[in-house]
């Protein structure tokens, strides 16, 4: 199969067939040179337990930004009480000092390593900021109807603490400034925000979009009040799929969630009357005209964040595509949907999309009991292919690897556990480790002799390596070994100038054989990419 890029826009009126054909629409020669795609990584367990060691390793890998979850309930005082304590929730100094310690250390160490931080303000909420009557008699459900007004105060405290001018008690200098923010995590997924749906008079009504709309408004307000009005602000953080029908705790398909958040029906027209009222939306045309000014974040944000996981499928092929999905294989639907919700309110905003979670669970460590997880070698191939597709799509502004190290949940032996790390839990690198450090992808590997083959890749560590060595020029070698030989020789030495280390070139290889990248750190350590076999005939 010859993988091909995604279209910039997908008109949903053409239907599902053309959306799939969009994956095959552009010839390889039309690739754009990406100069702004951010290499992100998320690994909360590693960062929270060993900030120094984890960030040092990410620096060596060339990671430009980490996404860090800052959980409201982990910071708030008396989070397990239903009675709100008396404190100024907008003042970071009014929170327990110990609650901030780990986040402070990560932000400070990231600055020292030259790595930016995406602070994701997310739930669960402290119980005193949750709504009444969770189902099933649950007394400790932290994602149940979180209070937007209380969340605004928490985000304001968060913004104040990481404003660049806040000095905690006992410290000698201010904490670093954070200028990149996102809101909540997978609000279209019941365990993250509930109830997803409600059923008044036996009518199925989307509810989580209303809750999330209020949380986004609150976060926008809190950050503006704390001096972050000009920062990068993302909302969405959606899971890429959902159930056929949503209940209280199930998942909602992300495009259904998106339309309801913007108070639109399935045809992207404003809801009216009782259908609007049940979803917390304006019920009249006059109310719809005020919607844009009442919800500035939904139209003025820096971008929309998505978790475009492809499960165990190849990165360009959703096995059961749905026009309401937002996986990488169906990303055109999300691009079109975002444009259509903006146009419904007279906005010409075309939101960039940030991938803030992506990866492939591997077997091992997971057993293929319930799901056909891919091998670590296949995952290495897929993540390079996926990053290439990201790079080809002008709307996608980041590529996020989740995780660095496997979680090794006990359930992995039974086919569960989100073990999508670059290394196994014991620290042994997977093939994905080298593939992430030096991505390599050839869209065509079978061609006639004398053809020029496109070679795309990245020397991800080059940016930091150049800075660490006083600005020394960086390059990566494209190497080749003929079939039957294990001896590689350099075919092209590619200078690296792109901030993400990316390059895209065409090379004429002498025969069938194997292609790899070789990069040498300023220290003299040489590392190589995964190997790609080519056949010339």
Beta partners for residue 304, in sequence order:
235, 353
Quote the percentage of the chain above a pLDDT of 90. Answer: 87
Q: How far is CA 189 from CA 24, 102, 186, 250, 264, in A?
A: 31, 27, 6, 6, 20
Q: What is the pTM of this model?
A: 0.93
Q: How far apart are CA 509 and CA 520, in angstroms?
A: 22
Q: How far is CA 522 from CA 90, 111, 265, in A?
A: 46, 21, 56
| CA gyration radius, the chain | 24
Instruction: Specify the CATH class of 446-536 in words.
Output: mainly beta
Q: Which stretch of 333-342, 353-362, 462-471 has the lowest confidence by average pLDDT?
A: 462-471
The size of the chain, in residues, is: 537
Contacts of 378 (CB under 8 A, 6+ apart): 360
Domain boundary assignment for the chain = 446-536
Q: How far apart are CA 350 and CA 163, in angstroms?
A: 28
* pLDDT one-digit tens code per residue, 268-277: 999 999 999 9
* pLDDT one-digit tens code per residue, 50-87: 999 999 999 999 999 999 999 999 999 999 999 999 99
**Contact assessment for residue 58 and residue 82, using Cβ atoms and an 8 Å cutoff:** no
Neighbours of 16 (CB within 10 A): 13
Q: Which stretch of 99-103, 109-113, 138-142, 482-486 has the lowest confidence by average pLDDT?
A: 138-142
The residue among 292, 288, 355 whose CA lies nearest residue 326 is 355
Q: How far apart are CA 265 and CA 258, in angstroms?
A: 10
Q: How far apart are CA 243 and CA 314, in angstroms?
A: 21
Tell me: pLDDT of 507 over 80.
yes
Q: Is 339 helix (H, G, I), strand (E, B) or coil?
A: helix
* pLDDT one-digit tens code per residue, 244-255: 888 888 999 999
Q: What is the pLDDT of residue 137?
A: 65
Neighbours of 418 (CB within 10 A): 15
Tell me: pLDDT of 385 over 80.
yes
Q: What is the residue-averaged pLDDT of the chain? A: 92
* pLDDT one-digit tens code per residue, 145-161: 999 999 999 999 999 99
Q: Can you tell me the mean pLDDT for 170-190?
A: 97
Tell me: pLDDT of 15 over 70.
no
pLDDT band, residue 139 (cuts 50/70/90): low
Tell me: pLDDT of 4 over 90.
no
Q: Which two tokens stand for residue 68?
A: 């860090």
Q: Which stretch of 2-16, 44-58, 196-210, 434-448 has the lowest confidence by average pLDDT?
A: 2-16
pLDDT band, residue 35 (cuts 50/70/90): low
Tell me: pLDDT of 473 over 90.
yes
Q: What is the pLDDT of residue 26?
A: 35
Beta strands at 440-441 and 452-458: parallel, antiparallel or unpaired? antiparallel
Q: What is the pLDDT of residue 138?
A: 63
Q: What is the pLDDT of residue 25?
A: 32
Q: What is the pLDDT of residue 24?
A: 34
* pLDDT one-digit tens code per residue, 402-459: 999 998 877 888 888 999 999 999 999 999 999 999 999 999 999 999 999 999 999 9
* pLDDT one-digit tens code per residue, 291-333: 999 999 999 999 999 999 999 999 999 999 999 999 999 999 9
């Amino acid at each position: 199969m010859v993988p091909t890029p995604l279209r910039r826009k997908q008109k949903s009126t053409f239907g599902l067939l053309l959306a799939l054909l969009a994956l095959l629409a552009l010839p390889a020669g039309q690739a754009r040179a990406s100069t702004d795609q951010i290499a992100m990584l998320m690994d909360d367990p590693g960062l929270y337990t060993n900030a120094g060691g984890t960030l040092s390793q990410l620096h060596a890998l060339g990671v430009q930004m980490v996404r860090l979850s800052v959980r409201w309930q982990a910071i708030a005082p008396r989070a397990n009480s239903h009675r709100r304590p008396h404190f100024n929730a907008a003042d970071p100094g009014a929170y327990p000092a110990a609650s901030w310690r780990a986040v402070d250390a990560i932000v400070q160490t990231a600055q020292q390593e030259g790595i930016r931080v995406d602070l994701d303000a997310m739930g669960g909420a402290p119980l005193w900021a949750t709504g009444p009557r969770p189902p099933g008699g649950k007394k400790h459900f932290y994602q149940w109807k979180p209070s937007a007004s209380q969340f605004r105060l928490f985000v304001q405290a968060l913004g104040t603490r990481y404003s660049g001018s806040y000095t905690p008690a006992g410290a000698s200098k201010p904490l670093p400034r954070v200028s990149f923010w996102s809101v909540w995590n997978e609000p279209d997924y019941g365990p993250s925000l509930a109830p997803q749906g409600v059923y008044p008079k036996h009518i199925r009504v989307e509810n989580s979009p209303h809750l999330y709309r209020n949380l986004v408004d609150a976060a926008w307000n809190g950050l503006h009040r704390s001096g972050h009005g000009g920062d990068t602000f993302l909302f969405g953080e959606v899971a890429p799929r959902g159930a056929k029908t949503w209940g209280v705790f199930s998942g909602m398909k992300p495009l259904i969630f998106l339309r309801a958040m913007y108070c639109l029906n399935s045809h992207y027209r404003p809801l009216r009357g009782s259908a609007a009222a049940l979803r917390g939306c304006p019920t009249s045309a006059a109310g719809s005209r005020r919607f844009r000014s009442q919800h500035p974040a939904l139209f003025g944000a820096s971008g929309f964040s998505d978790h475009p996981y492809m499960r165990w499928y190849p990165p360009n092929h959703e096995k059961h595509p749905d026009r309401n999905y937002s996986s990488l294989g169906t990303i055109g639907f999300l691009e079109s949907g975002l444009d259509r919700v903006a146009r419904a309110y007279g906005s010409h905003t075309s939101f960039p999309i940030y991938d803030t979670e992506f990866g492939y669970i591997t077997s091992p460590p997971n057993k293929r009991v319930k799901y056909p997880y891919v091998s670590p070698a296949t995952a290495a191939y897929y993540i390079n292919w996926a990053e290439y597709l990201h790079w080809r799509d002008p709307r996608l502004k980041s590529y996020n690897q989740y995780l660095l190290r496997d979680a090794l949940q006990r359930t992995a032996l039974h086919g569960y556990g989100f073990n999508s790390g670059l290394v196994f839990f014991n620290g042994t690198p997977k093939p994905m480790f080298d593939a992430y450090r030096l991505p390599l992808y050839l869209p065509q590997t079978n061609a006639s002799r004398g053809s020029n083959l496109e070679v795309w890749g990245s020397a991800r560590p080059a940016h930091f390596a150049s800075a660490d060595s006083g600005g020394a020029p960086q390059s990566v070698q494209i190497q080749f070994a003929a079939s039957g030989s294990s001896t590689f020789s350099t075919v092209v030495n590619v200078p690296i100038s792109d901030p993400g280390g990316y390059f895209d070139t065409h090379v004429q290889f002498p025969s069938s054989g194997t292609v790899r990248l070789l990069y040498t750190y300023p220290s003299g350590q040489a590392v190589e990419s995964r190997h790609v076999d080519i056949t010339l005939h």
